Amino acid sequence: MKGHVWRPLFVVIGLVAAILVFRMFYVPADFGVHDQGYTFGFHRLGNEQEWKQFPEKYKGTEYCNECHDDKVESISKSGHGIIPCEDCHGAAFNHPEDPEKLTVDRSRALCLRCHSELYMPSSQRNDLPGINPKTHNEGMECSECHNPHNPSLEEM
Amino acid sequence: MVEQVAQMVVHGEAWTIKDLFVLPNEYVYWSIQIVLYPYMTGLVAGAFVLSSLYHVFGVEKLKEIARFALVFSFALLPVAMMPLLLHLQQPFRGIHVMMTPHFTSAISAFGIVFLTYACIVASEIWFVYRKFIVESIDRLENKQRRGIESLLLLVYKVISLGARDISPEALESDHKAVKFLAGLGIPVACFLHGYAGFIFGSVKANALWMTPLMPVIFICSAVVSGIALCILCYAIFMWLRRWALKRGKTFFLPEQVAGTMEITDSQLRDMQDYETKMTSKYLLIFMTLAITLELLDIIFRGYTAVKSWDILREVIYEHDFVKIFVLQYGIGNALPFLMLLLPGLTTRRACVASVLVLFGVLMMRWNVVIGGQAFSLSFAGFMHYHLPIIPHDIETFKEGMGGALLVAATPFVIFYFLNMIFPAFYAEDEAH
Amino acid sequence: MKRREFLKKTAVFISGASVSLSALELVDPKEVLAKNPDLRWGFLVNTYKCVGCGMCVKACKIENEIPWDANVTRTWVERYVITKEGKVLADSPKGARDGFTSKLIDRAAEGKELVPDKEIAQAFFVPKLCNHCTLPACVQVCPVGATYSTKDGVVLVDRKWCIGCGYCIMGCPYGVRFFHPVVHTADKCTFCYHRISKGGNTACAQACPFGARRIGNLRDPNDPVAKAVLTERVGILRDEYGTKPNVYYIGLNKEVH
């Protein structure tokens, strides 16, 4: 065999070496096989931290209770006590700094999420008071008659 | 918050129509480019296998077409990568496949297998054309160079890698190397394409794709489509050469060698007829294999009739009936099969059959890729794919008719330039 | 990196033998600890309690910055209506982002269908989210290591490394993955990793007025979710795929998968 036949091989070896050198600089140092092994845990470790730092928007009823304890107290006595404040008042974000005021969703559509009557045997939906949105005061906002914090008309 | 930007482009929404109960996140995520991807790799692999039939197994009948197939395979190679890049949501990160390959994924092999294969084909071309390269350097150095010839000389000098020895012993080494590389190339070509089948076959979440037959089916249909494309392009290029010869021109041959080949129109025609006929026989063999496997797959599914068969049957026999049984099996398989089998095969008939075969394999890819996404994971709904013809944004271009045509046209552009350096129709006496 | 370990694991994978990871645990005590930490997140859905209000979907979209009007979602609620004749109709319009307020069942291209109350044998809601599988198929098929399982069993996507090939979307048997319309990488439920890792609740579970959704530590015997999984009759979705999901359901039906 003549020596020249190896020349393409040298080119290939050079190419592979170039890729490997580039790889050394390109791939982050924390990329590798972590806790769950090669199949399920091959990743950049720093990404876990990035996800942990994702900003929270919903703060929970306890957070609301820190200032609005009177409201939390009053609603807790009604049937709507199980509903977290932010479901209707919107996510708190960094309220009261940003936003200063939350926009309350008073829409009929919001109430209908639970109270549009559907026939759902074998589901708790059937146990909720339901109305037919087409016949029950169509066009009106529910809050015109019902107090969301104390929705039962008998008790008003 | 709620006041988000009104219209968001959800990938896949533009071309997916949902029917009955489809899960909210389900769309035809893998569209035309993923149809073309196995199709193009298939053509690469098939063309290479064809050229290897001559180089490794010494099938002398295929001598003429083998050289063309090799150069054409190299021209197709970069195009096999194109559909993937056009399809990626983050095309600039495509390099990650090489940087941090996760080998439990079939796709991760792409970078490595693809590069290996490219190196093999490039080396093989280098050995096949080394004598020609050295001769060209000598010729160009000793003459008054015009315009592009200086550039050509530079190109030849670089790719010669300084190996100017064309003594008989050196050429003998070249031939040995070609034989070795062509032999090595066959399993790599099969692997390149087999793993494309594995990409689909290993998706356990997809009832239509998941079968161990998938890689084998893909290899067989790859060889079929590759050979068909070579027959077709070879015949067309030969027609062009004959057409040019009559007008005293030398299409597809570099000027400096044009004078060295004394060839008449009838010689060209004989060559053309002989090569297409011989190649067609190999096409028939691989077609039989491919069709058998595909039918085996469908029969097996129907016979075993597991849970997913209900929805698959509806897709195969109702929604996609025309695409599968008329276009793929009928027009794409049975008809060309008969055309090739009937006695008195002419180049023209072989070409028409090849076109049909190419269409049939494309439909097969379509029916696998799109068909596999035609039903919901809920097994209670369907998704219909509508190929975007007129693009209205970059995505509908990339994954629409525009992108598809771009991918289909590129290999011919590359071949045009590649042929200037490595004349695919340049015949010389080779000793292997 | 421990090259030997890598080679060993690759060899195990390539050999195709279904040697479970537990087989490797015996080798190194450190690995045993890593594989059995005292924290493993799991989720419990009580389908009886779900009323289909969709507050969980709304909260998830806002909390996790999934564009409101984009027709993709990290969690969704399905409605199943089974007629007395045994016909099954299911829908999840916009993933139930706005809840279920109409009796009309969305049949997509076929339009809407009304099933009269008297023909309904049973009807219920099933919330869906990522199952954070112990053996996630989506992670196995990622070609670049852009999606992975954390030590505490949460499957995440690295938005800076994902190439957007869509293989994980295809690989997931539950259809929970999609392309984020803004980031343009694969996206999915994170179990609100930013919340639970600070001791909080997931946005969806917190928004649910009925306690139909709960997250908990499956390794803590005193955790209510772990207790329920251990002592009650719970089901999982599509166990035939062998992904070992960690979202457990109370009140599953054969029509749901």
Q: What is the pLDDT of residues C183-232, one digit of tens each?
A: 999 999 999 999 999 999 999 999 999 999 999 999 999 999 999 999 99
Check residue B53 and give its pLDDT.
81
Check residue A22 and give its pLDDT.
96
Best residue in C51, C97, C249 to probe A by mutation, most A CBs within 10 Å? Answer: C51
Tell me the pLDDT band of B6, cut-offs 50, 70 and 90: very low
Check residue C34 and give its pLDDT.
53
Check residue B329 and give its pLDDT.
95
**CB–CB of C175 and B23 under 8 A?**
yes
**CB–CB of C122 and A32 under 8 A?**
no
Tell me the pLDDT band of A36, cut-offs 50, 70 and 90: very high
Q: What is the mean pLDDT of residues B183-211?
A: 89
Q: What is the mean pLDDT of residues B217-243?
A: 87
Interatomic CA distance for residues A156 and A143, integer angstroms: 13
Q: Does C102 touch chain A (CB under 8 A)?
A: yes
Beta bridge partners of C123: C81
Of the options 2.80.10.50, 1.20.1630.10, 3.30.420.40, 1.20.1440.230, the CATH number for the domain spanning B13-421? 1.20.1630.10
Check residue B241 and give its pLDDT.
82
Tell me the pLDDT band of C5, cut-offs 50, 70 and 90: low
Sign of CA pseudo-dihedral C231, C232, C237, C242: positive
**CB–CB of A91 and C21 under 8 A?**
no
Q: Does B141 touch chain C (CB under 8 A)?
A: no
Say how many CB pairs under 8 Å bridge B and C. 167
Give chain C positions within 8 Å (CB) of B29. Answer: 166, 169-170, 179
Give chain A positions within 8 Å (CB) of B121. Answer: none
Asked if residue B427 has pLDDT above 70, the reply is: no
Domain assignment present for residue C22? The answer is: no
Pick from B4-18, B106-120, B139-153, B328-342: least confident: B4-18
**CB–CB of B20 and C70 under 8 A?**
no
Q: What is the mean pLDDT of residues B230-240?
A: 87
Check residue C9 and give its pLDDT.
54
Residue length, chain B?
432
Interatomic CA distance for residues B10 and B89, integer angstroms: 12
Q: Is residue B109 a contact partner of residue C13, using CB atoms and an 8 Å limit?
A: no
Domain assignment present for residue C30? The answer is: no
Asked if residue C10 has pLDDT above 60, the reply is: no
Check residue B423 and give its pLDDT.
87
Asked if residue A57 has pLDDT above 80, the reply is: yes
Instruction: Give the Cβ contact number of residue A21 at 10 Å.
Output: 10
**CB–CB of C178 and B89 under 8 A?**
no
Check residue C117 and give its pLDDT.
95
Chains that touch B (3 or more CB pairs under 8 A): A, C
Check residue B67 and give its pLDDT.
85
Q: Does A8 touch chain C (CB under 8 A)?
A: no
Check residue C19 and give its pLDDT.
41
Check residue C144 and give its pLDDT.
96
Identity of the highest mean pLDDT range in A92-101, B282-291, B390-399, C98-107: C98-107
Pick from A103-107, B272-276, C120-124: least confident: B272-276
Strand locations in B277-431, DSSP E?
381-385
Radius of gyration of chain C (CA): 20
Is pLDDT larger for residue B256 or for residue B234? B234
Extents of the domains making up chain A: 3-52, 61-155
Per-residue pLDDT reduced to its tens digit, B12-58: 999 999 999 999 999 999 999 999 998 988 888 888 888 888 888 87
Asked if residue B228 has pLDDT above 50, the reply is: yes
Check residue C12 and give its pLDDT.
47
Q: Does B163 touch chain A (CB under 8 A)?
A: yes
Say which residues have a Cβ less than 8 Å from residue B132's Cβ, sequence separation at least 6.
Answer: B422, B423, B426, B428
Q: Is residue C155 a contact partner of residue C130, using CB atoms and an 8 Å limit?
A: yes
Check residue B1 and give its pLDDT.
40
Is pLDDT larger for residue A18 or for residue B221? A18
Give chain A positions within 8 Å (CB) of C132. Answer: none
Q: What is the mean pLDDT of residues A125-134?
A: 94
Per-residue pLDDT reduced to its tens digit, A75-109: 998 999 999 999 999 999 999 998 999 999 999 99
Q: Which residue of A has its CA nearest to C138?
A: A40
Instruction: Give the Cβ contact number of residue A129 at 10 Å.
Output: 10
Q: What is the mean pLDDT of residues B3-17?
A: 75
Give chain C positions within 8 Å (CB) of A55. Answer: 194
Say how far residue C238 (Cα) sits from the centre of its chain: 11
Best residue in C103, C148, C185, C189 to probe A by mutation, most A CBs within 10 Å? Answer: C148
Taking alpha carbons only, the member of C208, C183, C171 closest to residue C66 is C183
**CB–CB of B98 and A1 under 8 A?**
no
Interatomic CA distance for residues B363 and B369, integer angstroms: 10
Which residues of chain A from 82 to 101 reach within 8 Å of chain B, CB to CB?
A: 90-91, 93
**CB–CB of A119 and C117 under 8 A?**
yes
**CB–CB of A8 and B161 under 8 A?**
yes
**CB–CB of B204 and C69 under 8 A?**
no
Q: Does C198 touch chain A (CB under 8 A)?
A: yes
Compute CA distances B118 → A18, B187, B280, B420, whole Å: 16, 13, 27, 19
Check residue C6 and give its pLDDT.
54
Q: What is the mean pLDDT of residues C227-256?
A: 94
Give chain B positions within 8 Å (CB) of A27. Answer: 99-100
Interatomic CA distance for residues B258 and A147, integer angstroms: 94
Asked if residue C45 has pLDDT above 90, the reply is: yes
Asked if residue B2 has pLDDT above 50, the reply is: no
For tokens 């996140």, the residue is B25
- Structural domain boundaries, residue C44: 39-74+129-257
pTM of the model: 0.89
Q: Does B1 touch chain A (CB under 8 A)?
A: yes
Chains that touch C (3 or more CB pairs under 8 A): A, B
Say which residues have a Cβ less than 8 Å from residue A133's Cβ, sequence separation at least 6.
Answer: A108, A112, A116, C101
Check residue B24 and give its pLDDT.
96
What is the enclosing helix (H) or strand (E) of C248? strand C247-250
Say how many CB pairs under 8 Å bridge A and C. 167
- Tell me the shortest Cα–Cα distance from A102 to chain C, in angstroms: 14
For tokens 């000027």, the residue is B255
**CB–CB of A4 and B163 under 8 A?**
yes
- State residue C127 phi and psi, 5-degree precision: -75, 140
Tell me the pLDDT band of B385, cut-offs 50, 70 and 90: very high
Which residues of chain B from 16 to 35 reach within 8 Å of chain C, CB to CB?
A: 17-27, 29-30
Interatomic CA distance for residues C115 and C82, integer angstroms: 9
Nearest to A23 among B99, B103, B123 (CB): B99
Residue B92 DSSP one-character state: G
Q: Is residue C181 a contact partner of residue C251, using CB atoms and an 8 Å limit?
A: no
Check residue B69 and give its pLDDT.
87
Asked if residue B251 has pLDDT above 50, the reply is: yes
Nearest to C68 among B2, B17, B379 (CB): B2
Check residue B410 and give its pLDDT.
94
Strands B16-20 and B381-385: what pairing? antiparallel
What is the enclosing helix (H) or strand (E) of B17? strand B16-20
Which residues of chain C from 238 to 257 reach within 8 Å of chain A, CB to CB?
A: 251
**CB–CB of C72 and B10 under 8 A?**
yes
Asked if residue B262 has pLDDT above 80, the reply is: no
- State residue A57 phi and psi, 5-degree precision: -115, -45
End-to-end CA distance of chain A: 102
Return mean pLDDT, chain C.
89
Tell me the pLDDT band of C4, cut-offs 50, 70 and 90: low
Chains that touch A (3 or more CB pairs under 8 A): B, C
Q: Pick left, alpha or beta for residue C193 (phi over 0 → left; psi -120 to 50 → alpha; otherwise beta).
A: alpha
Check residue C20 and give its pLDDT.
42
Please state the domain count of chain C. 1
**CB–CB of B93 and C110 under 8 A?**
no
**Helices marked H in C93-147:** 137-140
Check residue C26 and give its pLDDT.
46
Q: Does A55 touch chain B (CB under 8 A)?
A: no
Check residue B430 and give its pLDDT.
43
Give chain A positions within 8 Å (CB) of B163. Answer: 4, 7
- Tell me the shortest Cα–Cα distance from C219 to chain A, in angstroms: 16
Asked if residue C69 has pLDDT above 90, the reply is: yes
